[in-house]
Amino acid sequence: MALLDSYGRTINYLRLSVTDRCNLRCFYCMPKEGVVKKGHAAVLSYEELLLIAETALELGIEKIRITGGEPLVRAGIVSFLGKLSAIRGLRHLALTTNGLLLAEMAADLHKAGVQRLNVSLDSLNPQTFSEITRGGDLKRVLSGLDAAEQAGFPPPKINCVIMRGVNDAEILDFADKTLSHGNSIRFIEYMPAAKEDDWQRYCISGEEILEQIAERYTLEQVDKGPFAGPSRDFRIPGARGSIGIITAVSGHFCCECNRIRVTSTGQAKGCLFSDAKTDLLPWLRPPDREGLAEVLRRIVTRKPERHNISQDGYTHKNFTMSQVGG
């Protein structure tokens, strides 16, 4: 049974964050220091996360993406994923990671039933990568990508946030990876998260990214799968991987939005950029399946038609992307 919101959009995708902790500090996502760690009791237990997943799947969600923070830093994640992948009705289980721990964990993640990995990688230059992530080691991510394929995953999708003056000179290098390594690349527009008044200076629209690629390559439009959501996907003829753009800021996005989000502390959100959130704890502690189903349905029904971050007069709200899960 399809889960529809009030604008007729099919909502089939849940982004479930399992932690707000991270072993990196990407400058666009988390502050350098002063991140207050959530206490153990504030973070949802795996049982609570499984209850949310089961309830959402009963309502019509078909795809779950595990995110964070960095999901692979949470103890017990592999066993949790094994239980999650076994739930009836789950057609697609994906995980987004910064890739640092993949070399050690890829085989276990594959065995646990994760079907697809997205790896966030914003630069192929060790120095730039280290600057963006405030100290990350590119070599570890690259060996994680190899380990994922050796473990039996399709070439991971690479999420790349393109920022003017930071990594925009690498757009074609990433596009080349769809030919040379078969990875699909998702170029994500930089979104205002960490509090910065002149955040617009980093913004490059998806259109501009495509124009740069089109100067070297012909791009064919690609048909999207059932869970693809708001990305627009293309392919360089002959490439195994596709090139997608997620134009979260410049537009053409909200009308195809198919997702809801739940944070690791149990806050459910219908829209990444809306202030509206619903605390699920009253239906989790103690567990109340019927109440939880009703409240999740309400979040879908009240999902806003669109965000307003690209409109004049938008005042930037401070939120940490690592808490919401991207």
Judged by the rule CB under 6 A, the positions of this chain that interact with ligand SAM are 22, 28-29, 67-68, 70, 96-98, 120, 159, 161, 188, 190-191, 193, 321-322, 325-326
Site for ligand SF4 contains 141 (CB under 6 A): no
Residue 243 belongs to what H/E stretch? strand 243-246
Across 164-175, b (16+ Cβ under 10 Å) vs e yields eebbeebbeebb
C-beta separation of 169 from 160 below 8 A:
no
Site for ligand SF4 contains 83 (CB under 6 A): no
Among ligand SAM, ligand SF4, none, partner that 190 touches (CB below 5 to 8 angstroms by kind): ligand SAM
**At its nearest, how many Å lie between ligand SAM and the CB of residue 260?**
16
**At its nearest, how many Å lie between ligand SAM and the CB of residue 282?**
26
Beta-strand pair 232-235/220-221:
antiparallel
Kindly report the length of the chain: 326
Secondary structure string (H, E, C) spanning 3-56:
CECCCCCECCEEEEECCCCCCCCCCCCCCCCCCCCCCHHHCCCHHHHHHHHHHH
Site for ligand SF4 contains 11 (CB under 6 A): no
Site for ligand SF4 contains 98 (CB under 6 A): yes
The encoded tokens of residue 229 equal: 């959501």
Question: Helix, strand, or coil here: 259?
Answer: strand
Among ligand SAM, ligand SF4, none, partner that 25 touches (CB below 5 to 8 angstroms by kind): ligand SF4
98 or 278: whose CB is closer to ligand SAM? 98
26 or 213: whose CB is closer to ligand SF4? 26
**At its nearest, how many Å lie between ligand SAM and the CB of residue 196?**
10
Closest residue to bound ligand SAM by CB: 326
Site pattern 24..53 for ligand SF4 (x: CB under 6 A):
xxx--xx-----------------------
Beta-strand pair 267-269/232-235:
unpaired
Site for ligand SF4 contains 284 (CB under 6 A): no
Site for ligand SF4 contains 68 (CB under 6 A): yes
**At its nearest, how many Å lie between ligand SAM and the CB of residue 18?**
10
Secondary structure string (H, E, C) spanning 119-164:
EECCCCCHHHHHHHHCCCCHHHHHHHHHHHHHCCCCCCEEEEEECC
Interface with ligand SF4 by CB under 6 A: which residues? Answer: 22, 24-26, 29-30, 68-70, 98, 120, 321-322
